[in-house]
Structure formats: C-alpha cells, structure tokens
C-alpha cells in the first residue's frame, strides 16, 4: 500500500523485492518508462511530429496511470477511501476529455514516480527487518532424558533445558539454571560490553555465549521470543505509520467529493436552464480548474530538492512522507550507547594502594588481560601501550597459566605472583572501597586487580561521551526541541551520563518494547523523532513519527526500520537536519497554499464561463512554474549551527559506564 492508499500488488516476496535493484523492479521501471515516453513526446512535438508526439504522450499517460488509477478506484469503491491518487485520476480524465493529453501524461508520470520510490523504500525496510530472524540459530541442543539432543529451534517449548556452549547463540529467551559466562549482546542491544550472567539471570534470544557453557531453561517458544516480538513491533508500527495520510491526502479528502459534486451540479443545473453542451463542457473545465497540478508537481520537486541537499551534508531521508513528518518534530528521544557515546571503552581512571604504583597496576592488569578478547581487556591493554602519563616504559611482562573464571575475570602468574583481574563483586574492593564506589557513581565500569589475593588497584573504564553532545543538546533545547534519553542501562549510569550531556528527562532500564511504548507516549503529545543504532532501538525507531538511524555502522535493523539515516556519527547533524526539514516543510506549505488559492480563484471563473479551457490551462502552467521555482529553493543545504567541542575539553572526557 502506497502512502496515498493506492494498492500496489507485490510481484515477488517482500524479502526479494527489497534486495532487487531498481532497474529490475517493475514498480519503478513503469514510471521511468512513462517519463521516457513523456520526454519523447515533448521532443517530437518540438520537432513538428504531431502524430508521433500524441502517441508518445498516450503511452506515457497509460504507463503512469496504471500505477495509481486501479488502486485509487479500488479504494474508492471497496474501502470508501479518498486520496490524492483519486484526484489525480479525475484530473487526468478531465484533461484527456478536453484534449490535453500532454498535461495528463505529465501528471501521471510525476505522481507515479514519487509513489514508486516511496513504495520501494518501504519494501527495503520490511526486507531488512525480517533479516533479524537470522540471529536465531536454526537448531539448539536440549537436555532430554539425560542425553543432549539437537532439535530444530522451532520445536523449542517453554521449560526445555538448553545447553549453550561457548561461541553458540541462544536460541530463545530463558533463565540461566547452571554455569557462568559472558554474553555478547551487541547485535541485539548495541552495547559493546558483554554482560556477565550466572544462575538466575535472564538471557535473550540471539545473544552469543562468549565463554563458559550454560544450561538455560527456555522461557519462550522458539517461534515467539524477544527477537520475533521486536520484528512484530516494528512491522506493526510501520503499518500504523503508513496509515497516516500525508498533508496532500488530508486536503484531498474534502476536495475530491467537493469537486465531483460541484462539477455534477454545474453540468446538471446548467443543462436544465441552458445549453447542455455548454454546461457539460463547463463542468469538465471545472474538473480541470480544480486539478491540483501545482500541488502534484511542486511537492515532489520540493521534496526531491530537499532530500538531495540533505545527502550533501550526510543525512539520507528515505521518503517524501518522512521528510514532511521530519519538519514537524518537536521532541527528540535519544538512545545512549553508540549515539550519545562513542561505543569505544577507554581507561579513564586508575587508583592503587600504598603497596603498588598506578603504573604497576596497569602493567599487571594488561599482562593478564592480553589473553582476553573482552572489550574491557582491550581498553586496558590499549591504555598500557598508549603514551599517557600512567603508561610504563618497560615492555609488557609475560603472563603464564592464565585461566578465565567465566563471567568474573582472569587469573594468571605475572613476575612470580598470582594476579587476578575482574569484577569487584568477585574480588572485593579491600582498602579501595571508597574509590571503587566513587568510580561507579561517576558512571565507570570498575576492574579490580589483586596480587596474591590482596587488592592492590582498580581501573575505571567507560564509554566516552561524544564531545559535541552538550553543545547539541543545548542548541536543541534553546530552539524549542525537548530531549529525552532512552536506555536499557541502569538508572545510576543513565543519570550520570544525562547530567553530563545536559539532558533532564531520562528513562532507564528499558527493554525494546518499553522504548517503543515511551516513544509512542511522547508522540501523543507532539511529533517525536527517535535516534538510535541498535537492534533494540528498531521498535522505537518505527514507532516514532520519524526514526533516525546513526551511522553506517549501525545495525541493519535500525537502519532499515528508520525513516532517516545519518551517514556518520556527528550529532551536530541533528539540529542542522531539523532546521533543513522545517524550512522544506515551510516551502511545501507555501506551494500547497498557492495551489489551493489558484483552485479557489479558478472555480468561480470556470463556472461562470469567464475563463475557458485554454485560459484555465494557461493559469495552471504559470502556477506550476512559480511553485517549481519556489520548490527548488529547498535544494540549498543549511549551514551547521553547532561548533565542535575540542578534544580534551571537560565535556569530551565525560563518559558512560560499561559492565563486565
């Protein structure tokens, strides 16, 4: 279903349709060939080949009209639904009856190509969304009768006991019954740090077991888990969003029946009191006079110009409807990890006891963590090799007999001593209890280092806040755009980051469905945009009036379910893109008002016979030139209004915490 309500029957499954190149998509190529025929007709007319020109105009008209006329008529008779497509149909028929095939062909081409491009964007979104389900493994190992049996994931039932080995994905949601490990949930939540799990902890479908073996009691069937619910939530939200009429459609609802009734009255009443041929002709002129030619042409021109300009400064807007909604946004919901933060953990603080220096603590920790691929380990080893003040001059010592305690940390031999590196909950905090508590209160993930069983140091690691964030938030709020942070992280972490960013409204510890519900609640009060980059953001992105995906490295689900995508991660694009969309919407509104005024002025003149068909068409043509020129103003890209914060400023060192 297109934005205008014109049904377009799919020729192939949605997944294939989304992947098919545009030149092999008949729903795109039919309007393209309509345009080719229209251009050919204009060239033939200019060269004096009148017959050839008429033939080409008819070909262009029939091709373009075939994409929206059948659907418009079906919606009219079966669903009693009126839209801009029906008005375009009526206008084209009126123009043909009066002999203006060229104008009818131009209307059919312009309308059909804009609808085809939007339908293709929606097909791609649905195809990308369904690819989420590939995160669930096809088979799972289940304990049955004391034996390990491999079954299809679709056969899993609540209560089944799953064995998930290191490196395997969890097939459905469940509860850990035995074993300890770390789960990589980055493909689902966007969080870069694996989550430690132990007996009693809940796990989600699609997570990757990073270390120890786990026995998990299935809490959901294999075909009805958190991932399938995310897909359902996004598809439902996209369907609801697709039902929201565009501004042109809202105008068409009263205009279509009004024009039909008016033309009928002109023809019938006029024929009763005068020459039927004269009044029937006037009725047809009324149809052409009421044709929203300027609207049909100017809105696509404005939208295409504005979307093209947006791509020049790194913003990809997927459809004209999305662009129209973007210009109305007054509230912005923001994801935390990967959006407000860099999603790159770094060491930001080191503390040691009197028996060791900070350089020793970092050296011992790096020697052991070198044997781990955990993101916290990477941050520590990177800090050792950096040129910071705490980086020791000597080479990294060799660690031997290193073993991992799943979900807790590592133990190894360094310089003849036993070095343990891991969670404060595992090793305790010893004499550094106050420092560890302060680190955690400031939003850091803390790694404790013990030497021969005695705590000698602690390292604070966090995901750094992007340096431009405070200035962007300040710019948005100053411009009247409210900002809310939505995150699945714990409340203390979220509050620490939000305070640094300048965000007052914080919603923490949210699941994907909670984020979507929060966005819907915000959207009930005013048009709301959501910006994020993880699979868990996909339902919220789809539920928002405008979903914005961050960066080409964001998850496919987020990018495909969003209406707008940023090619980079610079948040200064947000106020810049909003200003651009608002300016474009103002131009669209100007063109719509002008188009409506033309119709209002032409109708009485056409009814009374003061203007004939030629004069009406001439006025429409002049109006089209005016609104097209006005629409082209949207091609001017806006300038950035927020300056970058220099690296090393106080804001650039504020960060978000991580967990092991």
Catalytic annotation, residues: 335
> Where would I find the beta strands (DSSP E) of 551-619?
564-566
Find, among 184, 182, 185, 186, the residue nearest to 213 by Cα: 182
How many Cβ atoms from other residues are within 10 Å of residue 462's Cβ? 27
- The whole-angstrom separation of Cα 425 and Cα 436 is 11
How many Cβ atoms from other residues are within 10 Å of residue 537's Cβ? 37
Q: Give Dmax (Cα) for the chain.
A: 113
Torsion, Cα 169 221 490 559, to 10 degrees, reads: 70
Taking the alpha carbons at both ends of the chain, their separation in whole angstroms is 46
Long-range contacts of 426-431 (CB under 8 A, 24+ apart): 427/455, 428/455, 429/455, 429/458, 430/353, 430/454, 430/455, 431/353, 431/455
Q: What residues does 483 pair with on adjacent strands?
A: 332
Tell me how many degrees the CA angle 83-87-91 measures, rounded to the nearest 5.
Answer: 165
Angle formed by the axes of helices 469-478 and 573-608, nearest 10°: 30
Which alpha helices (H) appear in 274-419, and where do they start and end?
Answer: 276-289, 293-312, 320-326, 358-369, 375-385
Find, among 486, 526, 476, the residue nearest to 506 by Cα: 486
Which strand ranges, in their side-by-side order, compose the sheet holding 195-197? 195-197, 181-184, 208-209
At 372, give phi and psi (nearest 5°).
-120, 150
Q: What residues does 214 pair with on adjacent strands?
A: 164
Segment (H or E) for 201: none
- The whole-angstrom separation of Cα 504 and Cα 484 is 7
At 176, give phi and psi (nearest 5°).
-65, 125
Which alpha helices (H) appear in 202-289, and where do they start and end?
Answer: 226-243, 247-273, 276-289
Torsion, Cα 385 391 395 397, to 10 degrees, reads: -100
- The whole-angstrom separation of Cα 628 and Cα 327 is 20
Q: How far is CA 313 from CA 319, 436, 445, 564, 656, in A?
A: 17, 43, 36, 13, 28
Confirm if 84 and 200 have CB atoms less than 8 A apart.
no
Number of residues that this document lists for the chain: 660
DSSP assignment of 73-105: HHHHHHS----HHHHHHHHHHHHHHTT-HHHHH
How many Cβ atoms from other residues are within 10 Å of residue 371's Cβ? 15
- For 540-556, b/e burial (b = at least 16 CB within 10 A) is bbbbbbbbbbbbeebbb
Classified as helix, coil or strand, 348 is strand
Confirm if 440 and 657 have CB atoms less than 8 A apart.
yes
Classified as helix, coil or strand, 429 is coil
Find, among 656, 647, 646, the residue nearest to 499 by Cα: 656
The structure tokens 């008429």 sit at: 54
């Amino acid at each position: 279903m297109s934005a205008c309500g014109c049904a377009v029957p799919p020729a192939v499954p949605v997944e294939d349709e989304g992947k098919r190149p545009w030149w092999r998509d008949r729903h795109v190529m039919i309007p393209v060939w309509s345009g080719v025929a229209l251009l050919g007709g204009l060239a033939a007319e200019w060269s004096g080949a009148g017959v050839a020109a008429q033939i080409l105009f008819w070909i262009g008209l029939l091709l373009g009209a075939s994409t929206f006329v059948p659907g418009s008529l079906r919606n009219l008779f079966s669903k009693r639904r009126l839209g801009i497509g029906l008005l375009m149909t009526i206008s084209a028929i009126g123009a043909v009856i009066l002999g203006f095939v060229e104008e009818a062909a131009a209307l059919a081409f312009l309308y059909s190509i804009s609808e085809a491009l939007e339908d293709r964007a929606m097909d791609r979104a649905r195809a990308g969304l369904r690819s989420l389900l590939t995160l669930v493994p096809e088979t799972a190992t289940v304990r049955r009768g004391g034996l390990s049996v491999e079954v299809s994931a679709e056969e899993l039932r609540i209560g089944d006991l799953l064995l998930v080995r290191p490196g395997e994905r969890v097939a459905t949601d469940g509860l850990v019954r035995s074993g300890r490990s770390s789960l990589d949930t980055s493909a689902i939540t966007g969080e870069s740090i694996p989550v430690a799990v132990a007996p009693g902890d809940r796990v989600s479908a699609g997570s990757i077991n990073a270390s120890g073996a786990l026995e998990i009691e299935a809490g959901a069937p294999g075909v009805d888990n958190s991932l399938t619910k995310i897909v359902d939530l996004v598809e439902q939200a996209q369907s609801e969003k697709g039902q929201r009429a565009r501004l042109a459609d809202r105008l068409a609802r009263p205009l279509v029946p009004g024009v039909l009734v008016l033309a009928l009255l002109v023809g019938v009443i006029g024929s009763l009191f005068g020459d039927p041929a004269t009044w029937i002709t006037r009725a047809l002129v009324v149809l052409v006079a009421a044709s929203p030619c300027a609207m049909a042409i100017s809105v696509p021109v404005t939208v295409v110009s504005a979307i093209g300009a947006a791509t020049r400064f790194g913003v990809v807007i997927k459809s004209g409807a999305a662009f129209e909604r973007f210009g109305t946004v007054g509230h912005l919901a923001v994801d935390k990890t990967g959006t407000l933060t860099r999603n790159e953990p770094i060491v930001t603080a080191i503390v040691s006891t009197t028996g060791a220096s900070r350089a020793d603590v970092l050296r011992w920790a790096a020697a052991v963590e070198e044997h781990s691929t955990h993101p916290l380990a990477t941050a520590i080893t990177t800090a050792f090799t950096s040129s910071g003040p705490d980086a020791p001059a000597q080479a990294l010592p060799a660690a031997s007999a290193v073993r991992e305690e799943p979900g807790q940390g590592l133990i190894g031999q360094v310089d003849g001593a036993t070095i343990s590196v891991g969670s404060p909950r595992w090793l305790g905090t010893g004499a550094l209890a106050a420092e560890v508590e302060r680190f955690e209160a400031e939003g850091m993930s803390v790694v404790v280092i013990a030497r021969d069983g005695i705590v000698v140091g602690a390292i604070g690691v966090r995901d750094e806040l992007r340096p431009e964030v405070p200035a962007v938030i300040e710019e948005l709020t100053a411009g009247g755009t409210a900002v809310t942070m939505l995150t699945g992280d714990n409340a203390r972490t979220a509050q620490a980051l939000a305070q640094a960013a300048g965000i007052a409204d914080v919603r923490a510890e949210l699941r994907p469905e909670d984020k979507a519900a929060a966005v819907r609640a915000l959207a009930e009060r005013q048009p709301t945009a959501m910006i994020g980059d993880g699979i868990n953001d996909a339902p919220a992105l789809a539920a928002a009036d405008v979903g914005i995906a961050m960066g080409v490295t964001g998850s496919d689900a987020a990018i495909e379910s969003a209406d707008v995508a940023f090619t980079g991660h610079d948040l200064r694009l947000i106020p810049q893109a909003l200003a651009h969309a608002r300016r474009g919407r103002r131009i669209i509104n100007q063109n719509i008002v002008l188009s409506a005024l033309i119709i209002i002025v032409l109708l009485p003149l056409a009814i009374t016979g003061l203007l004939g068909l030629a004069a009406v068409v001439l006025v429409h043509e002049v109006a089209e030139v005016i609104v097209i020129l006005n629409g082209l103003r949207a091609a001017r890209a806006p300038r950035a209004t927020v300056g970058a914060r220099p690296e090393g400023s106080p804001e650039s060192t504020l960060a978000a915490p991580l967990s092991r």
